[in-house]
A = this chain, B = another copy of it.
Amino acid sequence: MRQEHLKLQSLSHVLISHMHGDHYLGLVGLLSSMNLLGRTKEITLIGPEHLEDLVTSHCRYSGSKFQYPIHFQVTDHTKSALIYESSHLLVKSFPLMHRVPTTGFHFQEKTRPRKLIKKKLEFFNVPIKQRVPLTMGEDFITEEGEIIPNERLTTDPPKPTSYAYCSDTGYFPSVVEHVKGCDLLYHEATFMDMDAARAKKTQHSTARQAAMIAKEAEVDQLLLGHYSARYRELDELLAQAKEVFPQSRLAEEGLVIDIDKDC
């Protein structure tokens, strides 16, 4: 977060997929750092039930208390559930298949405001206060009582974007329904074909299996990650995914994807 100059204090929620060390061990350090930096704003931690125990144990050991409220929200790894909603975003968790209770997360932008056609607003002399209702699809009524249909004053908004995160999981076709049609799917791809047996045993996926999920779900782009440290080069891993789903790419440290533009 520091390297990318992300503002620690603007963080409002942390989502934890499952309680394996490489997916949660940094959390208490992050919470402690925010505390030392003077955070007072509440934070919500969403994840498996043990998350609360993890944080409260630390407080008990260290005899310390965070100076900001921490709200815990337990995920259900057995079915899909809405875990967050704001004016512009819906977030759902859904089941993955791993050695401990694990969920994926799906981020769905709500319908965006309709785009105002500036020239038409001037032509019909639309007052400023009428503009927000127009972006929400309402018609405009002139002072003379004439109804100007919304379609004459606005254009369709950009398609709402969506992103799904699936890590860690074995090959689990039921994921498809939860990530259907999303703009960007992150799916773990721990192994290559040659280690498919190991993938099955450890409940991880091969790059090819990640691509099968992406293809079946008809997503726009697939982002691969969580590679096993045994591979020095990832060209072949990417190639195996691309054989099934050409719009695949490798996640790397610091990569930024603009879902609107790049997917």
Contact string, A107-121, partner B, CB cutoff 8 A, digits 1/0?
Answer: 000000000000000
> Are B28's CB and A61's CB within 8 A?
no
Contact B19 A61 (CB under 8 A): yes
Q: Does A131 contact B (CB under 8 A)?
A: no
B-facing residues in A18-53 (Cβ within 8 Å): 19-22, 24-25, 28-29, 32, 36, 48, 50, 53
Q: Which residue of B lies closest to A23 (CB)?
A: B62
Q: In the bound complex, what is the Cα–Cα distance between A57 and B61 (angstroms)?
A: 13
What's the Cα separation between A28 and B21 when bound, in Å?
8
Bound-state CA distance A47–B63 (Å) is 16
As for how many copies of this chain the complex holds, the number is 2
**Are A32 and B28 in contact, with the CB atoms below 8 A?**
no
Quick check: A63 and B32 within 8 Å, CB to CB?
no
Asked if A58 CB lies within 8 Å of chain B CBs, one says yes
* Contact indicator B28/A25 (Cβ below 8 Å): yes
> Does A132 have its Cβ within 8 Å of any Cβ on chain B?
no
Contact: B19 with A62, CB < 8 Å?
yes
Set of chain B residues within 8 Å of A64, measured between Cβ atoms? 20, 99
- Least CB separation from A20: chain B residue: B62
A82: CB under 8 A from chain B? Answer: no
The interface residues of chain B lying within 8 Å CB-to-CB of A229 are 36
- Is residue A81 within 8 Å, beta carbon to beta carbon, of the partner chain? no
Asked whether A54 is an interface residue with its Cβ less than 8 Å from the other chain, the reply is: yes
